[in-house]
Structure formats: C-alpha cells, structure tokens
C-alpha cells in the first residue's frame, strides 16, 4: 500500500497497467488497493477512462536522506519505517535490541497508534506525523520533571515555524489550535529512573488528514486546515527535531523552572473552570497555572489551591460552569 502511495504521490495520472507493472501485481489487484485508499484512508481519487488514476492532490511523503542529514547535525540517528504498529513500540524494540540512544523513529503510518490512557491515535498513512525520540536519562527524576510540558513547547515552536498560528498548550501534553487538538504527546519510560533509564517521547501531529477520514472522539484540527495549504510533513519533522534538541537541552541544563514562564504564556486554559479526572474521581476547580515542577495548580472552592502531578491525570473544560 505504501508503494502505491509513493507512485501516486506526485498527483499525476497513472494507468492501471503502469501501476500494476510497477508493483508487480495484476490490474484487478491495483483496483482493490485503490478502493482501500478511498475507504480506509480517506484519500480522494480521480478515475478517468483512458488516463488512469490520480489522487485529488499530491501527498507529502517523508524523505530518509533529508531527515537523516538534519538529525546527524544533532547527533541523533534515524530509523524510518513504512507502516508499523507504533513508533513508540518500535523505539522500545530498538532499545531492547541494543541500539544506543539518542535516536528518532519516524513512520509513514501506524496500525496501532496510541495516545495517553490507552486511547487510539488516528494514524492514516502519509497524512500525519508519527515521531518518537528515544533518549537516555542521566540525572534521574530531576531529568524527567516537567519533561512532557517542555516537549509541548518544542511542538508548539515547530508548528509556528511551519506557519500555524493561534496555537497553545493544554496541560499536561496536548497542543491545540483554534480550540481543537492538533498534536499530542505520549512519554514512556524504559528502565529504572534511579539507575539506567531511557525516556521514549512519542509525538503525533495532525498534518494533512482529511475532515472525513476518520471518526475521532474529540474536536480536532490539522495543519492544513489552519494554514489553508498542503503542509510538508518532512519540513515539520525537521523543525520538530531542531526544537526538541533546543528545548530538551535547556531543560537538562537549567531545569523546568527556566521554561515555566514560557509555558504559562501559552497556557490556553489559564483561569478557566476545569474538571480533573484522577481515575474514578472527578475534581472541579479553576486552573491557576503550574508550579516550578510542572504540576497542575487548581483552585478548589472550600479547599484553596491544590497541586496535582503524576499518574494518569486528564484535564477537560467544565462545560457546566
């Protein structure tokens, strides 16, 4: 399927015979693949007798040589995959096989993309960015304090460099544009933070996904919708790597407190009534910001300001307020 996408990515017409010869399959098999592109991936195809098939518009595909060159300047290796279960899972397998961090895993598509709290992450091929950075943590718990918020700042910076305006941060690790989710972060640990530990930083960004491509259980948007043009997935990954290198480096040298003010300046829910989910418990309060370690600060009537961090916490707006 990915080979077919690469053939069609130029936006030109290709005959069924041409596609079949390039893929080594029959024309009937090509037709079945094309139907899957429409039904499963939400890609619009033009079919013209005598001319063949083409996508309604070109695709933005990743490029190993360009991405590898950018990462080499940062001292990071690249592992680019076509379609895998998830980039986080692949990063873990690479670590377990003895590959040394730091390295980046990129994929054209995922079959089992994951968000926080085990939620599915929509991962159609060649439409979004699926990115994982694996790092070795050398300063224990201190090196992890506020890390997801710092990664959010890096994603925000990369989106702005890509021309997306009106973006902001939602605690603890979502990026919003126009009050809708445009990117999410999933951070996982491998090892003992008190000894040898690796952190696996997974980032998903909605780039060119069509509005009817998939059913997603929350308001969402894409770079394309926000900018009005097809976005370069390759450029975004380059910006993202550079921003991560810069922000994580500062976090390592100076701690989260040095970046707290910048995060607060981009906090889209500051002063708003929210509901914090902590497992089975629902806590309502006014979001007053974050503390020096990145913990959430909520002002709760009758209890004053309380702080929350760690665990599977989830924050949403209180629409009943």
Name the active-site residue from 93, 272, 303, 316: 316
User: Taking a C-beta distance cutoff of 8 angstroms, is the pair 215, 155 a contact?
Assistant: no
CA-CA-CA-CA torsion sign (60, 115, 240, 270): positive
* Main-chain phi, psi angles of 30, to 5 degrees: -60, -45
Annotated binding site: 86-88, 110, 114-116, 181
119 catalytically annotated: no
Q: Is 174 left (phi over 0), alpha (psi -120 to 50) or beta?
A: beta
Contacts (Cβ under 8 Å, ≥6 apart) of 49: none
160 catalytically annotated: no
Name the active-site residue from 47, 73, 116, 229: 116
316 catalytically annotated: yes
Pairing of strands 103-110, 77-84: parallel
Annotated binding site for biotin: 86-88, 110, 114-116, 181
Q: Is 55 left (phi over 0), alpha (psi -120 to 50) or beta?
A: beta
Name the active-site residue from 181, 224, 233, 260: 181
> What is the Cα–Cα distance from 173 to 270, expressed in whole angstroms?
15
Among 185, 290, 299, 308, residue whose Cα is nearest residue 248 = 185
> What is the Cα–Cα distance from 306 to 74, expressed in whole angstroms?
39
- Give catalytic residues, as residue numbers: 116, 181, 316
């Amino acid at each position: 399927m990915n080979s077919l996408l690469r053939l069609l990515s130029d936006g030109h017409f290709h005959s069924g015979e041409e596609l079949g010869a390039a893929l080594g399959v029959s024309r009937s098999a090509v037709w079945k693949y094309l139907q899957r592109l429409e039904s499963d991936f939400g890609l619009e195809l033009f079919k013209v007798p005598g001319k063949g098939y083409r996508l309604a518009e070109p695709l933005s595909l990743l490029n190993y040589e360009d991405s590898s060159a950018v990462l080499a300047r940062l001292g990071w290796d690249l592992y680019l995959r076509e379609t895998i279960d998830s980039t986080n899972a692949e990063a873990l397998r690479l670590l377990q096989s003895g590959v040394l961090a730091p390295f980046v895993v990129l994929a054209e598509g995922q079959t089992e993309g994951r968000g926080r709290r085990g939620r599915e992450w929509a991962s159609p091929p060649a439409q979004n960015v699926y990115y994982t950075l694996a790092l070795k943590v050398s300063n224990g718990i201190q090196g992890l304090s506020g890390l997801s918020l710092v990664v959010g700042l890096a994603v925000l910076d990369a989106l702005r460099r890509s021309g997306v305006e009106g973006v902001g941060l939602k605690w603890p690790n979502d990026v919003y544009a126009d009050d809708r989710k445009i990117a999410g972060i999933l951070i996982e640990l491998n090892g003992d933070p008190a000894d040898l530990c690796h952190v696996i930083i997974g980032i998903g960004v909605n780039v060119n996904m069509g509005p009817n491509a998939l059913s997603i259980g929350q308001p969402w948007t894409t770079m394309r919708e926000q900018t009005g043009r097809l976005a370069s997935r390759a450029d975004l990954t380059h910006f993202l790597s550079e921003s991560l290198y810069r922000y994580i480096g500062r976090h390592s040298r100076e701690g989260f407190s040095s970046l707290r003010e910048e995060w607060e300046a981009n906090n889209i829910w500051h002063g708003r009534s929210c509901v914090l989910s902590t497992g089975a418990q629902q806590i309502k309060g006014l979001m007053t910001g974050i503390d020096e370690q990145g913990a959430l600060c909520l002002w709760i009537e009758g209890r004053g300001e309380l702080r929350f961090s760690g665990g599977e916490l989830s924050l949403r707006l209180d629409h009943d307020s």
